[in-house]
């Protein structure tokens, strides 16, 4: 079992930055590929960014590319999402997810690939 706890959300003006954190605990947390997803009101959950368990590979959605950066610190079992140049359309609840026992350099972009999910953290970007 893996537990995921997100933090770092909040209210920010357009053009600002936030860094989300996702702390993982549990037996398989250290060999888990990780991903960030988001869900805006009235919309389906969408992929934002993913990172392999070894940190060697990352992948971003088109909307995140160039503005967001995913990273991880396996010693702390924590994954980060640095979000810069935020736009009002980035407003959503952001969720982190983990995929246990994943191979090195493998990332996952589909939500059904992930085993565990956090409770989410709200990000609101004002115009």
Which runs of E-coded beta strand occur in 8-115?
Answer: 10-13, 18-26, 33-39, 46-51, 58-60, 68-73, 78-83, 92-99
Q: What is the pLDDT, as a whole number, of residue 31?
A: 82
- Collapsed DSSP state (helix, strand, coil) of residue 30: helix
Q: What is the pLDDT, as a whole number, of residue 26?
A: 82
pLDDT surpassing 90 at residue 104: no
DSSP state of 116: E
Q: What is the pLDDT, as a whole number, of residue 28?
A: 62
Q: What is the pLDDT, as a whole number, of residue 101?
A: 84
């Amino acid at each position: 079992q893996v537990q995921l706890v997100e933090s770092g959300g909040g209210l920010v003006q357009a053009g600002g930055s936030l860094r989300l954190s996702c702390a993982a605990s549990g037996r398989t947390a250290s060999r888990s590929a990780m991903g960030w997803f988001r869900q805006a009101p009235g919309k389906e959950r969408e992929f934002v960014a993913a990172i392999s368990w070894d940190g060697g590979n990352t992948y971003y959605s088109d909307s995140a590319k160039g503005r967001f950066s995913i990273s991880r610190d396996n010693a702390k079992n924590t994954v980060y999402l640095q979000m810069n140049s935020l736009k009002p359309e980035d407003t959503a609840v952001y969720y982190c997810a983990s995929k246990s026992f994943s191979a090195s350099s493998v990332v996952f972009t589909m939500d059904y690939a992930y085993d565990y999910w956090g409770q989410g953290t709200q990000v609101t970007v004002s115009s």
